[in-house]
Amino acid sequence: MAGLFESAGGGSAAIALDEVEASILRTLEVQMLELIGPGPGGAGEDPLAALFAEGPTEAPADPALARLFPDAYGEPGEQADAQTTAMSGEFRRYTEVDLRTRKREDALAVIRSLDGLGEDGGLLRVDADQCPRWLGALNDLRLTLGSRLEVSEEDEEGLYALADTDERKPLVMAYVWLGHLQETLLEAMAG
């Protein structure tokens, strides 16, 4: 079936993507790279200095980034006290740089895989060692789209019933498709 993963044995997976599906997935991953940003110091940073770089101490203002890089302490959606805010800030300071790097590497792994397809799409094999990167990248995309769509457990079903004229419809379709990709990739990895 086009657009969904199947087991290729040994924890690897395969997916048949047409040119539109591959283009959509690639575009979403490029946008993810733009959202995450280059990290502290940018591309020309001294590699030794990058090992000791400290991250921010405050949560991102953008709700999608806040969803990708949540506070480590406190309850989501609730105002934290000063001690909890300080603990989250310290944790973020020492972990966010590495987390951003991993998310960029996951997105780049997907883009590189897609770049290996012909311009008309085709069958893409994802080796077992790359499947976790793909899974992470798909999860990041879905979290970001869910944040932009303001998806909650209460109204998720309502999103599926949107009129075709609703401007959110293409994002909802991508959100649903990414969910199917995640599910079938997990099944392929296990099978």
Q: Which domain holds residue 30?
A: 5-190
The yes-or-no verdict on residue 174 having pLDDT over 80 is: yes
The yes-or-no verdict on residue 76 having pLDDT over 90 is: no
Q: Give the predicted TM-score (pTM) of the model.
A: 0.87
| % pLDDT > 70, the chain | 91
User: Bigger pLDDT: 82 or 47?
Assistant: 82
For the ranges 31-45, 57-71, 73-87, the one whose mean pLDDT is highest = 57-71
Per residue, the 3-state secondary structure of the chain, as one string, reads CCCCEEEEECCEEEEEEEHHHHHHHHHHHHHHHHHHCCCCCCCCCCHHHHHCCCCCCCCCCCHHHHHHCCCCCCCCCCCCCHHHHHHHHHHHHHHHHHHHHHHHHHHHHHHHHHHCCECCEEEEEECCCCHHHHHHHHHHHHHHHHHHCCCCCCCHHHHHCCCCCCCCHHHHHHHHHHHHHHHHHHHHHHC
pLDDT band at 74 (very low <50, low <70, confident <90, very high): confident
Total number of domains in the chain = 1
pLDDT band at 1 (very low <50, low <70, confident <90, very high): very low
> What local confidence, expressed as pLDDT, does residue 30 receive?
97
